Amino acid sequence: MTTRDKDFTASSGGGPGGAADAGERNLAPATQSPHAPAARGQAVGASRFHESARAQVAGAATYIDDIPELRGTLHAAPILSTVAHGKLRGVDARAALALPGVRGVVLAQDIPGDPILATFVHDEPIFAIDTVQHIGQVVGVIVADSAMAARRAARQVKLDIEPLPATLDVRAAHAAKSYVLPPVVVRRGEPEAALQGSKHVLQGQLEVGGQEHFYLEGQIAYAIPREQGQWHIHSSTQHPGEVQHWVAHALHLENNAVTVECRRMGGGFGGKETQAGHMAVWAALAAHKLRRPVKLRMDRDDDFMVTGKRHPFAYDWQVGFDDTGRITALQLDMLANCGFSADLSGPVADRAIFHTDNAYFLSDVVISSYRCKTNTQSHTAYRGFGGPQGVIVIEAILGDIARALGLDPLDVRKRNLYGIDERNVTHYQMKVEDNILHPLIDTLEQSSNYRQRREAVAAWNARSPVIKRGIAITPVKFGISFTATFFNQAGALVHVFTDGSVQLNHGGTEMGQGLHTKIMQVVADELGVPFERVRCTATETGKVPNASATAASSGTDLNGRAAQFAARNIRDNLAAFVAGLDGCGAGAIRFRDGQIISPKQSRAFDDVVKLAYANRIQLWSDGFYRTPKIHYDKTTLTGRPFYYFSYGAACSEVAIDTLTGESRVLAVDILHDVGTSINPAIDIGQIEGGFIQGMGWLTTEQLVWNEQGKLTTHAPSTYKIPATGDVPAHFRVDLWPEANREDNVGGSKAVGEPPFMLGISVWEAIRDAVASTGPAGQAVKLTAPATAENVLRALRGGQLD
Ligand code: MTE
Ligand code: HPA
Ligand code: MOS
């Protein structure tokens, strides 16, 4: 008994007493654990079904709008500004309030706490106060017995607005020095001198559009007042902890009075990283005023009008290069259209700077990043988080260099790749240590038959007068970690119940990406139990506090490790217990196939759990993880912002119709790096989905604001996301067969965002097809997205009359 107690104390550290040093304990590399890490079990590495797949297909998976409503629940609908910029002189809700079923109106003056949202920059009013700053800005909400009654009434509210000049264009905003945050400049070497000394110089401009998230489940929140000033908020959010903070701040409460819960989202794609907080705050304020539970479910058109999108970007660049196409100098101005407030624009624009190199070494470079303020929706996180806006410009430049020199763009790209022993430090001073670009691209070049197909494309174009083809391979190198270092932490809770079943909770949210499934696999293997014994419960601020957003693709890396550590603590407790029974060292105990195996005896996991419970052994634990090695200087943007890089490359072949400008993607081959996959089916799904979403951004998804600043493409009728018919007939995805070189959960790599940027190969292939119609050496001026109109413009050298 004494031995067992001693062993137990030495190996556990779990539970409330051990919580204070949990970080240090869990930061120890797995090999220093008192027990060997779990042998690679049966759950990790298998293509398990998504934990909710069957329920989702059967319509039995609960989204927030499916939660049975409490008696007395009311519904809110937003009142939207109809002017892009103006003085808000008055709000007349009398006609709305007179309508049947309408219960009230909630405006800025009804906010008990701070009328400004608790965002980092603190520049965004909850409801417009005395000015409106974009068409669609929320001035207040109408509350009624039904969502329809609230929506109808909201349209009857009369706003007295005195119009002011509006800034709608990003270049005009830059010219007027209208910014949401100060500019940031990153420089290395002597770009001006290097440009002077370059053999060739090209310059250009590029405009790249934004993107609507188009999650299937629109934004929604359900705010429920509870006893003694407490609140329960159901929110479709990627960041429950932030929603908790915002709601508490608006209601003038402490965070401990607010619990936020999210079982799943019907997609987020970054659009629910901050934007979900607005619905929750509006619903909570309405619930506070009317003393009733309030649900706010955005109508799709309102969702389009109110919420931010991917940042549209504009660029001015000058590049120097040698005869082989190798870049010798780069000067780049990047203008991010941030909309009316900062939101996440700072880190988004930073990440664009961090990804302007994509896969390429830039010796002498200066990047000036301007965070422009316009009278439009406040643009926000979207898959890639500024990375795509960095990658596309360097890919555009390399395509232009290749055409100017009459070289194959793939050869030019290869010549510019980061080296292994030299040319391996990024413009932000991070050494690229895990570079697999060369073999990865070579492998794809072979497997996709790029060279033969390039010839076949040329032969096709020689005999086809109207339909022209193009082909391109583009790589991606994407930095994994939140650039705000402190976000790279996570917590988890694992409970083993007395019947041996396992319940998992962690700080990450499920938005369809399969996060819960992957973490269930990790926990199952850590405890050596079948996958089916593990369940994952709703994300809740009361279970794992202060969790970061599920974003930056790092959901599995962070929460998976935290959950692994939590499960490891329980395993250690059980191992010590069994070692005490069998008189062996705890390190000799194995957990596999639902059995706990000592050198003496194999016992069922469930039996040991029952016995351990009877002996008062702790059967649950927390786990905490923080990413090692990362650091960086926020002012100069130098250091090691990323733990590692994820890599990939895509080969896309397209056809364009030179009479109509229409395009079609014919064939796509992808080779992508997910390290050792925790769940290949889910990872491949992420790669396919990410690629198609990237393709949509650059082809059919066009946001059009009219001269008054109104977004005119605010419904599926006018905003075209890819449909199943747009998936290329040939669409092959292969996984790179190498583990993460950094110590990451299961040897895996993050997968959520990097494949998005592979869609750039489609845009480059379209430019290749356009180039085939003009004289050799002529630049292709294609604005993104490559809609039929923009392709026609490019075919006519930039003009369309
Ligand atoms: N996949 C699905 N099905 N739905 C989503 O909303 N969001 C993407 C990506 N894949 C998303 C998705 C984005 S923007 C990110 S950052 C990651 O998933 C977040 O989840 P992860 O960190 O668990 O990969
Ligand atoms: N990625 C995604 N979301 C974020 C980041 C990031 O780097 N930083 C803050 N939110
Ligand atoms: Mo993803 S844009 O980091 O939510």
Rounded CA separation 715/303 (Å): 9
Q: Which amino acid is at 78?
A: P
Q: What is the pLDDT of residue 63?
A: 98
The response to whether residue 488 sits with its C-beta less than 6 Å from ligand 2 reads no
pLDDT band at 698 (very low <50, low <70, confident <90, very high): very high
- Tell whether the model's pLDDT for residue 39 goes beyond 90: no
Which residue shows structure tokens 């690629």? 691
Rounded CA separation 144/96 (Å): 10
CB 500 within 8 A of CB 533: yes
Q: How far is CA 283 from CA 120, 234, 651, in A?
A: 21, 10, 46
Rounded CA separation 558/293 (Å): 34
| Minimum CA distance residue for ligand 2 atom 1 | 552
Q: What number is the average pLDDT over the span 387-402?
A: 98
Does 38 or 326 have the greater pLDDT score?
326
| Minimum CA distance residue for ligand 1 atom 11 | 269
Rounded CA separation 753/348 (Å): 13
| Minimum CA distance residue for ligand 3 atom 4 | 270
Rounded distance from Cα 512 to ligand 1 centre (Å): 7
- Tell whether the model's pLDDT for residue 148 goes beyond 50: yes
The DSSP call for residue 486 is G
The response to whether residue 752 sits with its C-beta less than 6 Å from ligand 2 reads no
- Tell whether the model's pLDDT for residue 33 goes beyond 80: no
Q: Which of 212, 217, 445, 753 is catalytic?
A: 753
- Tell whether the model's pLDDT for residue 680 goes beyond 50: yes
- Of 213, 238, 487, the residue with max ligand 2 atoms within 8 A of its CB, to mutate for a pocket test, comes to 487
Rounded distance from Cα 270 to ligand 3 centre (Å): 4
- Of 120, 273, 509, the residue with max ligand 2 atoms within 8 A of its CB, to mutate for a pocket test, comes to 273
Ligand nearest to the CA of 270: 3
- Tell whether the model's pLDDT for residue 11 goes beyond 80: no
pLDDT band at 16 (very low <50, low <70, confident <90, very high): very low
The response to whether residue 348 sits with its C-beta less than 6 Å from ligand 2 reads no
CB 79 within 8 A of CB 91: yes
Which residue shows structure tokens 């790029």? 450
Q: What is the pLDDT of residue 6?
A: 30
- Of 50, 56, 269, the residue with max ligand 1 atoms within 8 A of its CB, to mutate for a pocket test, comes to 269
Rounded distance from Cα 267 to ligand 1 centre (Å): 8
Q: Which atom of ligand 1 is nearest to the CA of 268?
A: 6
Rounded distance from Cα 681 to ligand 1 centre (Å): 15
Rounded distance from Cα 427 to ligand 1 centre (Å): 28
Residues in Cβ contact with 221 at an 8 Å cutoff, skipping those fewer than 6 apart: 64, 233, 234, 235, 236, 237, 243, 276, 279, 280, 282, 283, 284, 295, 296
Q: What is the pLDDT of residue 801?
A: 63
Q: What is the pLDDT of residue 635?
A: 85
Rounded distance from Cα 348 to ligand 3 centre (Å): 10
Q: For 446-493, what is each residue's pLDDT tens digit?
A: 999 999 999 999 999 999 999 999 999 999 999 999 999 999 999 999
Beta-bridge partners for 539: 262
Q: Which atom of ligand 3 is nearest to the CA of 382?
A: 2
Q: Which atom of ligand 1 is nearest to the CA of 272?
A: 6
Tokens representing 689 are: 């989905």
Q: Which atom of ligand 3 is nearest to the CA of 551?
A: 3
Backbone phi, psi, residue 296, to 5°: -125, 105
Rounded CA separation 8/575 (Å): 9
Q: What number is the average pLDDT over the span 329-354?
A: 98
The response to whether residue 513 sits with its C-beta less than 6 Å from ligand 1 reads yes
CB 394 within 8 A of CB 356: yes
The DSSP call for residue 17 is G
- Tell whether the model's pLDDT for residue 259 goes beyond 60: yes
- With b for 16 or more beta-carbon neighbours within 10 A and e for fewer, the 615-636 pattern comes to eebbbbbbbbbbbeebebeeee
Nearest residue to 169 (alpha-carbon basis) of 376, 392, 468: 376
For 659, left (φ over 0), alpha (ψ -120 to 50), or beta? alpha
- Tell whether the model's pLDDT for residue 30 goes beyond 60: no
The response to whether residue 752 sits with its C-beta less than 6 Å from ligand 1 reads yes
The whole-angstrom distance between residue 406's C-alpha and the CA centroid of its chain comes to 37
Rounded distance from Cα 389 to ligand 3 centre (Å): 14
pLDDT band at 35 (very low <50, low <70, confident <90, very high): very low
Q: For 551-565, what is each residue's pLDDT tens digit?
A: 999 999 999 999 999
- Tell whether the model's pLDDT for residue 605 goes beyond 90: yes
CB 527 within 8 A of CB 558: no
Mean pLDDT across the chain: 94
Rounded distance from Cα 514 to ligand 1 centre (Å): 9
Q: Which atom of ligand 3 is nearest to the CA of 383?
A: 2
Q: What number is the average pLDDT over the span 88-99?
A: 98
- Tell whether the model's pLDDT for residue 180 goes beyond 70: yes
Q: What number is the average pLDDT over the span 594-623?
A: 98
Q: Among 106-110, 183-187, 208-212, 630-634, which stretch is predicted with the lowest mean pLDDT?
A: 630-634
Q: What number is the average pLDDT over the span 103-119?
A: 98
The response to whether residue 683 sits with its C-beta less than 6 Å from ligand 1 reads no
- Tell whether the model's pLDDT for residue 4 goes beyond 70: no
Q: CB-side exposure of 258: number of CA atoms within 13 Å? A: 27
Ligand nearest to the CA of 754: 1
CB 386 within 8 A of CB 348: yes
Rounded distance from Cα 550 to ligand 1 centre (Å): 8
Ligand nearest to the CA of 268: 1
The response to whether residue 483 sits with its C-beta less than 6 Å from ligand 2 reads yes
Q: Which atom of ligand 3 is nearest to the CA of 552?
A: 3
pLDDT band at 40 (very low <50, low <70, confident <90, very high): low
Rounded distance from Cα 754 to ligand 1 centre (Å): 10
Q: Which amino acid is at 546?
A: N
SS (H, E, C) 131-189: EECCCCCEEEEEEECCHHHHHHHHCCCEEEEEECCCCCCHHHHHHCCCEEEEEEEEEEC
| Minimum CA distance residue for ligand 1 atom 23 | 555
Rounded distance from Cα 72 to ligand 1 centre (Å): 35
Q: Which atom of ligand 3 is nearest to the CA of 272?
A: 4
| Minimum CA distance residue for ligand 2 atom 7 | 482
pLDDT band at 360 (very low <50, low <70, confident <90, very high): very high
Ligand nearest to the CA of 483: 2
The response to whether residue 509 sits with its C-beta less than 6 Å from ligand 1 reads no
Q: What is the pLDDT of residue 636?
A: 86
- Of 348, 380, 482, the residue with max ligand 2 atoms within 8 A of its CB, to mutate for a pocket test, comes to 482
- Whether residue 707 lies in the annotated active site: no
Q: What number is the average pLDDT over the span 677-704?
A: 98
Residues with CB under 6 A from ligand 3: 238, 270, 273, 381-383, 385, 551-552, 753
- Of 273, 275, 487, 756, the residue with max ligand 3 atoms within 8 A of its CB, to mutate for a pocket test, comes to 273
Q: What is the pLDDT of residue 652?
A: 99
Percent of the chain with pLDDT over 70: 95
Q: What number is the average pLDDT over the span 53-79?
A: 98
